[in-house]
A = this chain, B = another copy of it.
Amino acid sequence: MPFGMVRPSPCCTVHPNSGWLPMPTPVNGFAQVLVSGTGGGPKYGNILIMPTTADSVATSCPDLRKSEEMQLGYYAAAMQQSGVHVEVTAARRASFYRLSYPANARKRQLLIDAGFFLGENSEPGAREAQEFVGSQVRVISDHEVEGYSRIRGGWNNGSAYTVYFYATTDQPFSQSMTWKSGKITDAQSQYDSGEKTGAILCFDGNEQKPVRLKVGISFVSEMKARENCLNDIPSWSFEQVRANLVNTWEHLLHKIEIDPATPEAQKRMFYTALYHTMLMPTDRTGDNPLWRSSEPYYDDFYALWDTYRTSMPLITLIDTERTASLVRSLIDIYRHDGYMPDARSGNCNGRTQGGSNAEIVIADAFVKGIDSGIDYETALRAMLKDATVPPGGNEEAEGRGGLVEYNQLGYIPHGIPRAGNRTVEYSYCDYAIAQVAKGLGYEELYQKYLRQSANWKNLWRGDYTDNGVTGFIMPRSKSGEWLDSIGFGKETMALADHPILKQYRFPYTPTTIEGPWYYPWWNCFFYEGTSWEYSLSIPHDFDGLITLCGGSRAFEARLDKFFDGGYYNPANEPSFITPLLYHAIGKPWRSSDRILEIIGKYYNDSPTGLPGNDDSGAMSAWLAFNMIGIYPNAGQDYYFIVTPTVKRTVLHPAPGVTFTISADNLSDKNRYIASMSLNGKPYPYSAIRHSDIAAGGTLVLKMTDKPGNKMINMLPQ
């Protein structure tokens, strides 16, 4: 379900990030709570169910798949050893399974494993590993089981979260057993003694009807899980549950209607992308164990660093109420937890990658006029907290690490992890604060943060040349010297004090992405990127960037070298906006060329149709925007206009409002925009304001086979 609390999936061996792996990896069972489209250490994988037909009882019965099938709201697998055909669909807070045991099965069993989770590691406290805290199960009738799984750690190094469940079947158990730490007994319950527990349910061997199973989930209690289960899935009809789900999606997906004549492969790419964009974060309104509030509650911002650029703006484009809910939930987390998250999962803030990017999400909503109950005054206080109060020992969890130095020096010096991208991103976040401060009438704050938004320039080493390009963001010491080589920073004291390692430094150049083996990757100058990438990643100050790069001509040459020289990384967010930068020098047709090339090369409609993992839909949303010919610059109120891949798109930004993008004569050959009209009037720009789309209307693109030949301004000056 869109933003649903359950995301059921097979959990496969070995080391999946969120459960599913391609065949033939064995399936441990089907978990209810998982993330979607993420990377790094896993999170969740809770409340595993697994049908078996084994003669003996066991607490774990991994099985292979003979085949599997995936559709919207439907996953099915034919299990090899047990012969069971498992089908699953879902409501918002409950999974629904139809388990068809083979007719000749001597036993029809079902395991409910409350101790299972992803990412176990034998080393205590291992980074990004999930750690078991406790679990319990209780058979409460001949067709009902409840219990929970309590886990800590995982990708965001979070504190303990508890997934409560209520499971019920349409057929009575002919027998039920439970286990604790692998020991199976006839006891009908297992209390939490810090050990793994589960239940084994047996069904009458002669019954041939499939077993239907509902598993409701809550983060509050077993009884709330029951309430969620029976509320969200009142019936026993698998088809009805699935139809509800499909209808919900259809309603959302229809908010962007692309030309019915679009080739199937492109349709699949587009609507899959739109679907991926609306799986995460997770709407847990009503299931927050931490505080009571009238505000919405979302978890699994995983991470805003990934999603603020594209998936959040895509949600805003088609569902402003959802955006308002998301923003309100960020503010409510600040109210109760002290900081807005940059990432959050399992009811716990963490980990920050670079910026405090909730600022950009809020500014984006603000400049696009999203209102719907957002308390922007409190939002501004939350943003200012990020920008003024160091998170201290919690700087991997929230706020801005290195803030003291950033505010003192105007940049983050070497010695603090991720000094490069933190400086770049804090500048961008400061720009976001400035926008909101200005809009709310705080002129002094606006001026202050606008000044700070230029801080990225303090790491600009203007005379540094690499492969013919001059000017890069490079490491700098606290005392202001540029560093050509770097050693350990202060957060890696243990290694920095190591008698042998401490003497080593390694050269840092604009192509360095990782340090040597002994250098923790998490602490490098840039996070998941090179200086070639980050030095062009200044979405809030194109003019400043072009000037420092030596003007338009040098900038264009640099962009060309960036793409043609292999510096561009399509698989991660820092370079998302770079192909659009030709717009900033008046040559939007060159942006379109780059984007069409990137889509053609890295995106398709196969299971591996994205470059890298989806990052909670960020990659998908990049594709979806570019396919319809507009692309956002988060925190600002416009979209770049590029050549779409679909001829005609009808957007429904609000009920009753229609905005059409129509590319006349679009073809592989006619790939350039000769001219445009907006609502019948000539539109001689290369970007369009959000308000023009929100108001409804028609943007007609007249296509030609000739690239542009005169500079085009992005927007009216």
Contacts and interface: CB of A to CB of B under 8 A. Distances in A.
Interface of A: 125, 131-134, 136, 138, 148, 150, 152, 159-160, 162, 189, 191-194, 220-221, 223-224, 226-227, 286, 289-292, 335-339, 385, 389-395, 398-399, 404
A666 B292 CA distance: 62
Contact of A290 (B159, B189, B336): B159
A149 to B, nearest CB: 12
Given A290-B159, A385-B393, A227 B191 contact: yes
A255 B393 CA distance: 42
Contacts of A150: 289
Nearest to A152: B291
Given A385-B393, A389-B393, A395-B392, A133 B292 contact: yes
A338 B292 contact: no
Contacts of A399: 392-393
Number of copies of this chain that the complex holds: 2
B393 A224 contact: no
Of A125, A192, A399, the most chain B CB neighbours within 10 A belong to A192
Nearest to A218: B192
A339 to B, nearest CB: 6
A226 B132 contact: no
A191 B223 contact: yes
Contacts of A223: 136, 138, 189, 191-192
Contact of A133 (B290, B339, B398): B290
Contacts of A131: 291-292
Contacts of A160: 289-291
The 9 closest A-B pairs by CB, nearest first: A392-B392, A191-B223, A390-B392, A391-B392, A194-B292, A389-B393, A192-B221, A160-B290, A191-B227
Contacts of A136: 221, 223-224
A226 B191 contact: yes
A192 B224 contact: yes
Contacts of A159: 290, 337
A136 B227 CA distance: 13
A131 B293 CA distance: 11
Contact of A393 (B192, B289, B338): B338
Nearest to A388: B493
A134 B289 contact: yes
B335 A125 contact: yes
Residue of A134, A224, A393, A394 ringed by the most chain B CB atoms within 10 A: A393
Nearest to A223: B191
Contacts of A404: 404
Contact of A134 (B192, B292, B398): B292
A352 B398 CA distance: 21
A185 to B, nearest CB: 15
Nearest to A493: B388
Nearest to A133: B292
Nearest to A225: B191
A171 to B, nearest CB: 24
Contacts of A220: 134, 192
A393 B398 CA distance: 10
A385 B494 CA distance: 13
A85 to B, nearest CB: 34
